[in-house]
Amino acid sequence: MPFEFIETKIKGVILVKPKVFGDERGFFMETYKKSDFKNSGIDNEFFQDNHSKSSKGVLRGLHFQKYPKEQGKLVRCINGKIYDVAVDIRAGSPTFGHWVAYELSEENKLMLWIPQGFAHAFLTLSENAEILYKVSGSEYSPECDSGIIWNDPHLNIKWPLKEYGIDKPKISEKDNMLKTFKEVLG
């Protein structure tokens, strides 16, 4: 199997390590294979692929789509390095309000599967980073678009700002207007 699927401390969020075949010419790897993903429990139909580029210190999120247009995301960083965060927003989940984070980079080639029922954000750690992600569940729906403020005190996400020489993250006006976890989800 060209992938290793690694369970995280939050059920459903899976770190995916692809098998990379490299030599002096470069490398080859599969980034998605329906049968392998299905056998590992990720049996989702993907509806949309997204590509974003961000400069160092850009923080995007915490984003999610509300019912009935929830989305799952398979995230990978193809250039640079990001700190990728998933927050459990599934009502009734034993890990409701908990988060996990991983560094995804062009070097480690790790991917993070974030299922429906999670908010997602990332912080760019390198000078620039490009992120590709496959989206399941639904296409983007402006009327279901929602989010939580990145520095929510209840979630207390440990963003590695100082470790990467980032004084203050660069946040969009829209993301700066997001409400707290408790305001959004009770």
CA distances in angstroms from 3 to 12, 39, 155, 167, 183, listed in the order given: 17, 11, 31, 37, 39
DSSP code of 155? T
The rounded radius of gyration (Å) of the Cα atoms in the chain is 16
Residue 15: exposed, middle, or buried by beta-carbon count in 10 A (0-12, 13-18, 19+)? middle
The C-alpha angle with vertex 101 and arms to 100 and 107, in degrees rounded to 5, equals 145
32 in catalytic set: no
Alpha-carbon distance of 19 to 5, in angstroms, equals: 11
Is 154 tagged catalytic?
A: no
Cα–chain center distance at 105: 12
Q: Among 63, 83, 102, 120, which one carries the catalytic annotation?
A: 63
Which of 67, 120, 133, 140 does the annotation list as catalytic? 133
**Are the CB atoms for 12 and 22 separated by under 8 Å?**
no
Catalytic residues: 63, 133
